[in-house]
Chain A
């Protein structure tokens, strides 16, 4: 088990007039190798929750176990190596003179030889789809999309077994977004790591993850396979979220075609299901 959360509650600024309960009695298990999405509107507790996964925040009550390590214990170093967190706008955290040095920053703190560090940097820069020639540049010469990838490369270089991404594609154009999700999906598939994606984009979540955890008001509102969660449109809307446009369409279509599959949330799946019905009638209108 990658992540076990038991009866977790978290209170910001307890015993002050600003006291705010951010998480209430959360119970959650995430298996090794899962690709899970966390959705919820601003203030629902998503960020507070993921900050518990690498021990940045400690539970006010309850406990969090990461690969068996209790986050309140002394093994923080190990914990933070296991859990890579890509925060929102991670490029703001680039600070070194060159891309190479920036990615090397985490690696040199481990007991690796110069050759091992060098090999790892060259490997990871390719993983994120950039050329080796970028390594000698200053991070500040790069485009927004390139900076973002360098920042992610710095996290990946640590070979985390759990990768947490908080809005990794905010502000990127659709192609830039697809490129980032492309290598993340590949890393997940080839390296078998656990990936947790926090996102406001229901379309992205629907396309990428196996399981969706919906946060609302510091609690888990829904937790299940993508098709189950996105089929409950009313409940999602009730807490200020929405489903992908295609889910709305399929639910409407079900009113006239009762046996259409309304638990469909991607364009390709909708196409296949609609073709099944159109084809049966043989009424191709071309």
Chain B
């Protein structure tokens, strides 16, 4: 699988929410967005509430259609209605609230919902459901009622439901926002696994900077515009700009930034504890025996 092939192409896309009320103006949620997501990459999307992240996500599987510009998903133009099922089965979405997206009374039934709608033969569905549940490590819960699961487990079931449709890409719209730290870790681990082992492209919208730090690339959106794209290291090293955009950087990145303000010259692209320690070590008074 080549990293150079793009799976989602966003070309000059604008999206306007038309106002139904004459007193209120239309709202432009995205303007002139250009983005190429490579097959097999793990992209994190950051931005303030209302910056256009969710709109972008919904454009990626034809829940919304661009007001202008085009979106090509897996080679398919999302405005072509006849391709809707192909588009939706190649790009699955996971939303913020796990309770809003589970439809089955039993876990395995929920996972089967997607492939059933695609008209897959029952024998094949059985295999896909079992494989999907095994991949996300939820086989032992397959006969559970979904309400007995934790938030993180529910989100994994939602992911399994998408996996059963054999997607090329999964778009997660703040899917970890309602989870506790354990649930977040579980979901991130699964996403990493799907990305590296199955080659599935991941688009992960999040407010958690530590999660964005683990992505291959980070896109920052502000007021409907693409403002920064780069590796987490590149993006977070500009602490001043990130803060100005109303976002955060990892604590150690901020620490180095603060120390530099006091006259030091530490690298600005530190993301982890280990990197921070390595840098600080070098600057410690070397003459003293510690």
Main secondary structure of the interface of A (DSSP, over half): helix
Chain A residues within 8 Å of B, Cβ to Cβ: 41-43, 141, 143-145, 170-176, 200, 202-203, 240-242, 244-246, 248-249, 252-253, 256-258, 267-268, 270-271, 274-275, 277-278, 280-286
Query: Which one of B105-113, B161-169, B177-185 is at the A interface?
Result: B177-185
Which residues of A have CB within 8 Å of B287? Answer: 281
Which residues of A have CB within 8 Å of B119? Answer: none
Contacts A176-B48, A240-B182 known; 8 new A-B pairs at CB < 8 A: A41-B182, A170-B178, A171-B174, A174-B207, A245-B250, A253-B277, A267-B251, A267-B255
A206 to B259, CA, bound (A): 20
Would A283 and B290 count as touching, CB distance under 8 A? no
Which residues of B have CB within 8 Å of A274? Answer: 255, 259, 280
Would A241 and B181 count as touching, CB distance under 8 A? yes
Which residues of B have CB within 8 Å of A268? Answer: 258
Which residues of B have CB within 8 Å of A173? Answer: 47-49, 51, 207, 246-247
Which residues of B have CB within 8 Å of A41? Answer: 180-182
Main secondary structure of the interface of B (DSSP, over half): loop
Would A170 and B177 count as touching, CB distance under 8 A? yes
Which residues of A have CB within 8 Å of B96? Answer: 171
Would B255 and A281 count as touching, CB distance under 8 A? no
A242 to B259, CA, bound (A): 25
Which residues of B have CB within 8 Å of A171? Answer: 49, 96, 174, 177-178, 207
Would B49 and A174 count as touching, CB distance under 8 A? no
A171 to B179, CA, bound (A): 10
A41 to B179, CA, bound (A): 9
Would B207 and A200 count as touching, CB distance under 8 A? no
Residues 259-281 of B contacting A (Cβ, < 8 Å): 259, 262-265, 273-274, 276-277, 280-281
Would A286 and B180 count as touching, CB distance under 8 A? no
A275 to B177, CA, bound (A): 35
Would A245 and B251 count as touching, CB distance under 8 A? yes
Partner of A267, one of B50, B207, B254, B274: B254
Min CB distance B278 to A, Å, is 10
Chain A CB within 8 A of B285 CB:
yes
A-B contact pairs, 30 of them (CB 8 A): A41-B181, A42-B152, A43-B150, A143-B49, A171-B174, A173-B48, A173-B207, A174-B247, A175-B246, A176-B246, A241-B181, A245-B273, A246-B252, A246-B255, A249-B255, A249-B273, A249-B277, A252-B274, A252-B277, A253-B280, A257-B284, A271-B262, A274-B255, A274-B280, A275-B262, A278-B285, A280-B285, A281-B288, A285-B264, A285-B265
Which residues of A have CB within 8 Å of B2? Answer: none
Chain A CB within 8 A of B92 CB:
no
Would B263 and A286 count as touching, CB distance under 8 A? yes
Chain A CB within 8 A of B151 CB:
yes
Chain A CB within 8 A of B286 CB:
yes
Min CB distance A87 to B, Å, is 13
A244 to B49, CA, bound (A): 24
Knowing A172-B49, A173-B247, A285-B283, the reply to whether A270 touches B255 (Cβ < 8 A) is: yes
Chain A CB within 8 A of B39 CB:
no
Chain B residues within 8 Å of A, Cβ to Cβ: 24, 47-51, 96, 150-152, 174, 177-183, 207, 209-210, 246-248, 250-252, 254-255, 258-259, 262-265, 273-274, 276-277, 280-281, 283-288, 290
Which residues of A have CB within 8 Å of B277? Answer: 249, 252-253, 256
Which residues of B have CB within 8 Å of A252? Answer: 273-274, 277
Knowing A244-B251, A256-B290, the reply to whether A144 touches B281 (Cβ < 8 A) is: no
Chain B CB count within 10 A is highest, among A174, A275, A283, for A174
Which residues of A have CB within 8 Å of B276? Answer: 249
A258 to B288, CA, bound (A): 13
Partner of B283, one of A241, A242, A267, A278: A278
Min CB distance B5 to A, Å, is 32
Partner of A281, one of B177, B247, B285: B285
Would B265 and A286 count as touching, CB distance under 8 A? yes
Min CB distance B144 to A, Å, is 14
Closest to A279 in B: B262
Which residues of A have CB within 8 Å of B263? Answer: 284, 286
Min CB distance A77 to B, Å, is 32
Min CB distance B288 to A, Å, is 7
Min CB distance A190 to B, Å, is 26
Which residues of B have CB within 8 Å of A200? Answer: 179-181
Partner of B251, one of A143, A246, A256: A246
Chain A CB count within 10 A is highest, among B49, B179, B183, B209, for B49
Which residues of A have CB within 8 Å of B264? Answer: 278, 284-286
Which residues of B have CB within 8 Å of A202? Answer: 181
Partner of B49, one of A42, A43, A141, A176: A176
A170 to B206, CA, bound (A): 11
A200 to B280, CA, bound (A): 30
Which residues of B have CB within 8 Å of A267? Answer: 251, 254-255, 258
Would B284 and A242 count as touching, CB distance under 8 A? no
Min CB distance A109 to B, Å, is 31
